[in-house]
Structure 1
Amino acid sequence: MTVQKRGFLLFGIKKVSELTGVPEVTLRSWERRYKVINPSRSQGGARYYTKENIEDIIWIKKQKDERGITVRQAMDLLKEIKEMKVESTITGSSYEEHIEEILNFLTEYQTEQATKQINLCFSMFDFEEVFHHIFTPILHRVGYQWENGKLSVAQEHFICNFLQRRIFPFFHDLYADPMKPKAVALCAPEELHNVGLLLFSLFLKRRGIDVLFLGQSTPTESLLPLIHLNNVQLVCISITMEESISQVETFISDLLSKGTNIDFVIGGAGAKFLSEPMQKYRLKGDLENWKKWLNSRSKL
């Protein structure tokens, strides 16, 4: 049963059970036991759920089925998210506030608080927004503070690895379109910073392109068999050091000389040192520039 009250659609428990796949008896049990999802009641005692209630139920079920956590753990997390949402709404939350809070927590190794704040961000924003508008500025600040002696090597490594671990599950959970070309993503030899490369790989995979993510310090001589075996059409390379340029350019020239129909994209702070002929492969900028670049690649 569905009714409308004060402009809002309300759903009876039978309809909610149909929409969510959660039995009516379980919905009643969750309400009584956890007191997190609380439907309104009619004068006769019938339960009526809002659209937000239904979204919460689906979210709980997903946490239980896909992440393997208990219903109690999922309910506790949902309660924390809702409480933090209210607090953020009152204080006028913005990207900058989240950046500062997460960075402060991680600088002090307060992983539980950082995790709660990041979970709140995921509940408020699309995950690409979180990664590009919150994680990326944090990483830039970490690099700057480390270079200027304000963060230790241990803090820099800890923060970068912590954020990278939050990105990887999204990459692995996305499904690629088998009809679209494949890509391979790698850091140049001796290059260890791969978060930007991971974000670009996630960007491609979200749009259906399967990405073989090789990551840190990949020897270029080992790539040719992989490229041929997987019919790779796009090679994504991250460069942060000028010293890597020569080897990367030689690798690209060798591939092109073999007549392969492969496209290249090169990013990272070191890409500005590419020779003039190779500058056409350089991609810089933010998420919007990435979208424009992808739209210009008809074969992708």
Structure 2
Amino acid sequence: MNNIKNKFSIKDLENLSGIKAHTIRIWEKRYNLFNPNRTNTNIRYYSLDSLQKLLNISFLNSNGIKISKIAKLSSIEICDKVREISISSKNNNHIIDVFKLAMLNFDQALFIKTYNELISEYDFKTIFFSYFVPFLNEIGLLWQTNTITPSHEHFIVELIKQRILVNTEKSSKGIESSKSKETYVLFLPDNEIHELGLLFINYEILNKGHHTIYLGQSVPIESMISLMDFYSKITFISCFTIKPEANDIKKYLKEFNKKLLHNTSNELLICGRMTEVIPDSISNKVSTYKFSKEIIDTIESTPIYE
């Protein structure tokens, strides 16, 4: 329990809630909504309860309830009102805030409970793009501003990864009888470890009835050459998030093209942040996409042989 972060600066509250520190101070002084504590050196800090209350207040305020009216509600009434609005409007902001609290408190039970509520209403693809992707984007910003630690990020990413793997296993049933038009090989380049997007692409491809080979993180080009002895047409798929670095991408793709694409019917599809620095003229067998969803949409239109 010592790893739980339970003290937050006003800057932390701003980063986590999206409410400016100046506004938080006004709400605190004018409406007495928060009671910050002070360290021995007289530095103000806020509790986890204060953070949760602020997230709820922010949610209500963004849904049209004036702060003066919210201030008259008890903490229990605020929670009840949040629950009422979130159920009726299916607003994803509240769910993302709950995921934040689960992350900050290393609360696996809260994450699973919230996920189970979502999966009872939505398919997994909707949950991934409507809730997990926006949440992961916020995590990146929180990490950059030192609001959370790497432990927080790893904790929540692994929980999301587990949900993808569970759903992938369900989609994999009956894969032996798959007669897909082509084979999709999913991999990450050397020293690339950000695989959530790639895992989800793999899930979606399997879900559409195509054949996949998932190789995972940090795969050398040389190790994939042997695949060409087994498959006449391969669509390689990768996500370049931090690797290869900008100065190395052109060299990497030239080698990839030479060893795995040239004089074949193979192709390479890439998504991720580093695609922004890939030259358009690198190869007509290499296609780049900003988001994983764009790759999924492309594959969805690919026919399957029966």
The TM-score with structure 1 as length reference comes to 0.64
The TM-score with structure 2 as length reference comes to 0.63
Higher relative contact order (CA 8 A, sep 6+): 2
Matches within 5 A, 1:167-186: 167-175=164-172, 176=175, 178-180=178-180, 181-186=182-187
Partner residue in 2 for 1:284 = 290
Distance 2:268 2:119 in 1: 32
Kept in 2: contact 1:188–1:248 (CA 8 A): no
Matches within 5 A, 1:69-218: 90=87, 92-175=89-172, 176=175, 178-180=178-180, 181-218=182-219
Distance 1:277 1:146 in 2: 35
Kept in 2: contact 1:102–1:118 (CA 8 A): no
1:276 aligns to what SS in structure 2? coil
Matches within 5 A, 1:211-250: 211-241=212-242, 242-243=244-245, 245=249, 246-250=251-255
1:282 aligns to what SS in structure 2? strand
Unaligned runs of 5+ in 2: 1-82
Tell me how far 1:230 sits from its aligned partner.
4.3
Distance 1:213 1:156 in 2: 24
Q: 1:213 to 1:294 in 2, by over 3 A?
A: same
Q: 1:138 to 1:155 in 2, by over 3 A?
A: same
One-letter code aligned to 1:160: V
Q: 1:105 to 1:210 in 2, by over 3 A?
A: same
Kept in 1: contact 2:233–2:264 (CA 8 A): no
Tell me how far 1:158 sits from its aligned partner.
1.1
Tell me how far 1:105 sits from its aligned partner.
1.1
Kept in 1: contact 2:273–2:290 (CA 8 A): no
Identity of aligned residues (%): 22
Partner residue in 2 for 1:59 = none
Partner residue in 1 for 2:274 = 270
Question: How many pairs are equivalent?
Answer: 213
Distance 1:264 1:197 in 2: 14
Structure with the higher fraction of residues in helix conformation: 1
Tell me how far 1:89 sits from its aligned partner.
6.6
One-letter code aligned to 1:147: Q
Kept in 2: contact 1:197–1:238 (CA 8 A): yes
Please provide the CA RMSD for this pair.
Answer: 2.4
1:208 aligns to what SS in structure 2? coil
Matches within 5 A, 1:53-72: none
